[in-house]
Amino acid sequence: MNTLVNVARYHLVDRLQYLVLPIGVTLFAFGVNLAIFSLLPDKPEENYSGGLFTLFVFMLVCGAMSMTKSLPFGLALGVSRRSYYLGTVLLVAGLSALYAAGITVFQAIEEATGGWGLGLNYFRVPWLLDGPWYLTLLTAFVFLTLMFLYGMWYGLIYRRASVLGVVLFSAAQVLVLLGVGLVLTWTDSWSKLGTFFSSLTVGGLTGALAILVCVAGAGGFATMRRVTV
């Protein structure tokens, strides 16, 4: 366990990447949204902003960089691939918990102030972060973890097979989605899919995201064992 904690601390030497930039850019985007919305002459009763997804994109980028920029030196220090991966996952859990708690607190303030006095919903996202506080906390944690692990997987693919591997990996996912779309078309099941998603609760969505977390985590771990540095 000490080794995993040390790996997490190794990453946090770069506080700019893992803490300063994600928080700073998210708050900056929030300030820009507030400024723009305060200047609108006619404000809708409920306005949802997509600016919060900046944080999720940052988690994706941080995950990729943790397996590209930081991996060679980490392994050079004598850390095993398994320990490096699991230590990074420990970092993921800590960062996701921190940011999910922040989103939950700001969402509560947003609701209490009537959308910052402007009817702006920045920290409340329809169908995703739109339930009770505990579901917001859980869903944000799971989604942030998913983005980081997905980024890690991409970073490992890049380490294993360079740009060609990333392109093929992306193409494979597109082909899977295309195959699912064709099956839905041939079986005339698009309406059933729409009914399923429309009936999906926030809790159900969180469960689906948790399954994807397991897939991304397992895929990344399997790729990690084949990475050469």
**pLDDT tens digit sequence for 42-63:** 665 667 777 899 999 999 999 9
Instruction: Determine the Cα–Cα distance for residues 84 and 10; give it in Å rounded to an integer.
Output: 10
Q: What is the mean pLDDT of residues 77-83?
A: 87
Calpha distance 220→184 (Å, rounded): 29
Find, among 14, 1, 140, the residue nearest to 65 by Cα.
14
Confidence of residue 211 (pLDDT cuts 50, 70, 90): very high
The arithmetic mean of pLDDT across residues 76-82, rounded, is: 85
Residues ≥6 apart with Cβ < 8 Å to 121: 46, 47, 48, 49, 110, 115
Q: CA nearest 5: which of 107, 104, 79, 114? A: 79
pLDDT at residue 127 is higher than 90: no
pLDDT band at 213 (very low <50, low <70, confident <90, very high): very high
pLDDT in tens, 145-180: 999 999 999 999 998 888 898 999 999 999 998 988
- The structure's pTM equals 0.90
